[in-house]
Amino acid sequence: MKIAISGKGGVGKTTLAGTLARLFARDGYNVLAVDVDPSMNLGSALGIKQLPKPVTEHKDLVQERAGMPMGMFKMNPKVDDVVQMCGCTGPDNVKLVVMGTIDSGGSGCMCPANAFAKALIRHVITREKDLVILDMEAGIEHLGRATARGVDAMIAVVEPGMRSIETVERIMQLGKEIGITRYFAVINKADNPGPVAEKMAQMGISVLGTIPFDKCLVEADLAGVPPIDANCPAVDAIKKIKDKLEEMFGEKEAKQA
């Protein structure tokens, strides 16, 4: 199962990504969590204290695999061993890879590090057997067409607020251009999800679940404890989302033994 999570900054992407990763892992899945957000805090939501060095900062490796003379680069560098080399394993055996800063195009920079990161994302989505969860920012343009086809669910996290809804619209627009069709929304920080759910329905996005506003998450975040280890009530809502994903896209063979 391949899940990508996006949405406006601060809506709860990392909280959802980290908690889903731990829940799936506890249920026996081999889980690979990939931090594609430049703010790089998926590790703390997973409970990993010693973060691996971001992939794009392995300069020698990137140059060796993707670099070519005169500032040229390879579009298809070898990356099949990179998770092993640049990742780490945390609680419940969740593997984490931190991508580091990827230039999403606007500046026109297309350098070996970008090509390397994109190839790695494509690899984990299209080749890895593991259950993969990508914690992304709102810009999903690092997903090329081939990668997009491999994503089972693109989950947009949305909170009650117009800006966050507009971000979902933008994500859908971008996604359409690269062929993503399976959109879902998770409504977060919502004690009254009705109005947002209505907007999602108008946009043709099916809502996977709702997570209420939970003070425990704020406190756990401040204390540096992952939501799942703080036993926050919101984790129960995320469990239901996990069950729904499993119902729709479960691959039992991806489980360990």
Looking at residue 52, its amino acid is P
Q: Binding segment for Mg ion among 11-19, 26-34, 100-108, 201-209 (CB under 5 A)? A: 11-19
Q: How many CB atoms lie within 10 A of CB 44?
A: 16
What is the CA 251 to chain-centroid distance, rounded? 19
Please, are residues 5 and 136 in contact by the beta-carbon 8 Å criterion? yes
CB of 237 to ligand ADP, least distance (A): 8
In DSSP terms, which residues pair with 83 in a beta bridge? none
| 194 is a contact residue toward ligand ADP (CB under 6 A) | no
Annotate each residue in 96-125 with x if it binds ligand ADP (CB under 6 A) or - if it does not, as one string.
------------------------------
Distance CA 232, CA 225 (A): 10
| 9 is a contact residue toward ligand ADP (CB under 6 A) | yes
Distance CA 104, CA 205 (A): 25
Instruction: Using CB under 6 A, pick the residue from 1, 3, 4, 11 that binds ligand ADP.
Output: 11
User: 231 is written with which tokens?
Assistant: 């036993």
Give the list of residues 6+ apart from residue 203 with CB closer than 8 angstroms, or none.
168, 169, 172
Please list, residue by residue across 11-41, b when 16 or more beta carbons sit within 10 angstroms of its beta carbon and e when fewer do: bbbbbbbbbbbbbbbebebbbbbbbbbeebb
Name the residue nearer to ligand ADP (CB basis): 31 or 237.
237
Helix and strand totals (H; E) in the chain: 10, 8
| 14 is a contact residue toward Mg ion (CB under 5 A) | yes
Instruction: Using CB under 6 A, pick the residue from 19, 114, 164, 188 that binds ligand ADP.
Output: 188
167 binds, among ligand ADP, Mg ion, none (CB under 5 to 8 A by kind): none
Q: How many CB atoms lie within 10 A of CB 189?
A: 22
Touching Mg ion, residues 15-54 (CB under 5 A):
37
Touching ligand ADP, residues 200-229 (CB under 6 A):
211, 213-214, 217-218, 221
Q: Binding segment for ligand ADP among 10-18, 24-32, 95-103, 147-155 (CB under 6 A)? A: 10-18
Name the residue nearer to Mg ion (CB basis): 36 or 82.
36
Name the residue nearer to ligand ADP (CB basis): 216 or 254.
216
Name the residue nearer to ligand ADP (CB basis): 130 or 214.
214
Distance CA 27, CA 22 (A): 9
Instruction: Using CB under 6 A, pick the residue from 1, 3, 4, 15 that binds ligand ADP.
Output: 15
Which residues here bind ligand ADP, judged by CB under 6 A? 7, 9-15, 188-189, 211, 213-214, 217-218, 221, 234
In the complex, which residues of this chain contact Mg ion (CB under 5 A)? 13-14, 37
